[in-house]
Structure 1
Amino acid sequence: MKLLALTVASAMLSAASLAHAAAPAAVATWNFNNTLSADEAGKPALSAIDPLSASGFVMDTVFGETRWVYRFDGDAMPSQQAGLFVDTSGLLDADDAYSVDIVFQFEADDASWENIFGVSNRQSDNALYIDPGQRLEVWPSGDGPTPFTYGEYHRVTLTNNGNDTVTGYMDGIFQFTLSSTSLNFSAYAAANPSRLIHFFADNLVGGGQGEFADGRVASIRLYDIELDGDQVGELPPLPAVPEPSAVALMLAGLGVIAAAARRREWC
């Protein structure tokens, strides 16, 4: 009987492990480990929007962990806002189903709107924001119940099911499900043929310009599917910073040996 119980328990643990292992992998991860490059080989790097040349990498404590983050530093004037963007045309299928998971903070509350990301190539005010009530909001569709605290890191996840429905989470906690086309790439096909995602920098034309705040970002994960609530809840707060590969370590070691040899030759 004990052997049977142990066998059943082992099978249950194995099934749970397999279910966890089957969680979808991000198509691209940016960990800001003193670089804007993606963790995955062959994936595009983020591009900086830094008109004031004031942005850059700093060390910070994120969820109790000391790590590099990217600080974006600009001004509310549309042409002077700072942020990041990425070309997703080689990352996402040609539809509107995707998910973005981002760990960031806005440094100060100016009782206004702050842009998190949009997919209109900065040609529309429709995007994901923190609104003046400190709530996560897809403009103009609606917001959630949980206050966003400034000067602290939060993990915000936005999923798009590809059928005009978006779902938002903050720190893994459900905020809303809304009927919205605001974050559909297809809604801006002419203005955004490369399917760019802009982070933190607001629209350059139309109404509602200037909705920007300085901040810091610790990670961005991009998925080519709509994550469900269980999958969002199981995501670790921060993706692990990848260890150097064995090849990179070997090359680094060879570099040290070569440098030592050159120093001996100079002596």
Structure 2
Amino acid sequence: MKRIPLIMSLGLAGMLAHGAATAAPVAVATWNFNNTLAADEAGAPALSAIDPLGASGFVTDTVFGVTRQVYRFDGNQTPSEQAGLSVGTVGLLDGDNAYSVDIVFQFEANQSTWENIFGVSNRQSDNGFYVEPGNKLQVWPTGGGPTTFTFGDYHRVTLTNRGNGTVTAYMDGIFQFDLSTASMDFSAYAGVNPSRLIHFFADNVAGGGQGEFADGRVALIRLYDIELTRSDVVDIGTGTPPGNGGGTVPEPATLALASLGLLGAFGARRRGRA
């Protein structure tokens, strides 16, 4: 039998110790797309489809090695023909700006110079979370990340909002950036978004920068009513592949180990959750 290298043993031991010492945070809503847009949690709202062409729907795909149902959003770059999802968060999230969104999805092809991941402006502002023209994550209009987003592949993307004008992003469990910005604050759009909607994948229909859209597929969305810490992001990404049967869609094991290593490297730049 092959021996496990010492460095891997230490890494696995560290992961087990880390998992034993902390409990993963609990989502207020989880959408697994098992032929439904309903949430797993009782009382949590279903997602609403943005599907003006009537071309979106559930398909079978392989996500991180697991065959399962996903939701394919299919539209055009014309703003009124873009596809995606939305959910109102009044009563689901507290009335402040602290929240986190964890998504497993892919954009099928690079159809635009920018591709919208999600925003909180009720599609009334170009401000939002994107894949930018260099294929990195960015919260417009500032900053970006180091890791390349590859099209046609599933990625796990996590954005946390501290609630004080600071956001942090991760891709496949790996830290991307801290930014000072109000672009992802619900309070910044109170007049045009009283339902505190989160809109996924469909870009803005008012103001500049319209048409930033790509077709894609989404396997999981989780919403948290807190700012996730780096260790939280690792914890919630190391579950058992669900196959739409519960649990979580994990990031690849190699990325989970890498992100554990990065916790120390970037830990000084983030505060912990109380």
TM-score range, shorter chain: 0.7 to 0.9
Measured after TM superposition, the shift of residue 15 of structure 1 is: 7.9
List alignment gaps of at least 5 residues for structure 1. Answer: 1-12, 244-267
Summarize the alignment of residues 112-151 of structure 1 with structure 2, pairs less than 5 Å apart.
112-151=113-152
Paired with 2:181 and 2:216, the residues of 1 have a C-alpha distance of 27
Paired with 1:24 and 1:139, the residues of 2 have a C-alpha distance of 28
Q: What residue is the counterpart of 1:215 in the other structure?
A: 216
Q: Which SS does the other structure have where 2:147 is aligned?
A: coil
Measured after TM superposition, the shift of residue 111 of structure 1 is: 5.0
Paired with 1:76 and 1:142, the residues of 2 have a C-alpha distance of 24
Q: Name the amino acid aligned to 2:77.
A: A
Q: What residue is the counterpart of 1:19 in the other structure?
A: 21
Summarize the alignment of residues 169-188 of structure 1 with structure 2, pairs less than 5 Å apart.
169-188=170-189
Q: What residue is the counterpart of 2:41 in the other structure?
A: 40
Paired with 1:153 and 1:208, the residues of 2 have a C-alpha distance of 25
Q: Name the amino acid aligned to 1:191.
A: V
Counterpart contact for 1:172–1:233, Cα < 8 Å = yes
- Give the aligned CA root-mean-square deviation in angstroms: 1.8
Q: Which SS does the other structure have where 1:79 is aligned?
A: helix
Counterpart contact for 2:84–2:201, Cα < 8 Å = yes
- TM-score w.r.t. structure 1 length? 0.83
Paired with 2:151 and 2:176, the residues of 1 have a C-alpha distance of 18
Inter-CA distance 172–14: structure 2 relative to 1 (3 Å threshold): closer
Measured after TM superposition, the shift of residue 16 of structure 1 is: 5.6
Measured after TM superposition, the shift of residue 24 of structure 1 is: 1.0
Paired with 2:197 and 2:18, the residues of 1 have a C-alpha distance of 37
Q: What residue is the counterpart of 1:249 in the other structure?
A: none
Paired with 1:62 and 1:122, the residues of 2 have a C-alpha distance of 29
Q: Which SS does the other structure have where 1:142 is aligned?
A: coil
Q: What residue is the counterpart of 2:233 in the other structure?
A: 232
Paired with 2:43 and 2:166, the residues of 1 have a C-alpha distance of 31
Q: Name the amino acid aligned to 1:121.
A: N
Q: What residue is the counterpart of 1:49 in the other structure?
A: 50
Paired with 1:58 and 1:87, the residues of 2 have a C-alpha distance of 25
Q: Name the amino acid aligned to 1:186.
A: S
Inter-CA distance 227–192: structure 2 relative to 1 (3 Å threshold): same
Deviation string 1:57-78 (CA, Å, 9 cap, x unpaired) is 0000000000000000000000
Counterpart contact for 1:39–1:242, Cα < 8 Å = no
Measured after TM superposition, the shift of residue 236 of structure 1 is: 2.5
Q: Which SS does the other structure have where 2:85 is aligned?
A: strand
Paired with 2:238 and 2:54, the residues of 1 have a C-alpha distance of 30
Summarize the alignment of residues 46-125 of structure 1 with structure 2, pairs less than 5 Å apart.
46-110=47-111, 112-125=113-126
Paired with 2:75 and 2:16, the residues of 1 have a C-alpha distance of 50
Query: Is 2:188 the partner of 1:197?
Result: no
Percent identity, aligned pairs only, is 72
Measured after TM superposition, the shift of residue 141 of structure 1 is: 1.4
Measured after TM superposition, the shift of residue 53 of structure 1 is: 0.4
Q: Which SS does the other structure have where 2:232 is aligned?
A: helix
Counterpart contact for 1:104–1:153, Cα < 8 Å = yes
Counterpart contact for 1:30–1:38, Cα < 8 Å = yes
List alignment gaps of at least 5 residues for structure 2. Answer: 1-14, 247-274
Aligned residues: 231
Measured after TM superposition, the shift of residue 14 of structure 1 is: 10
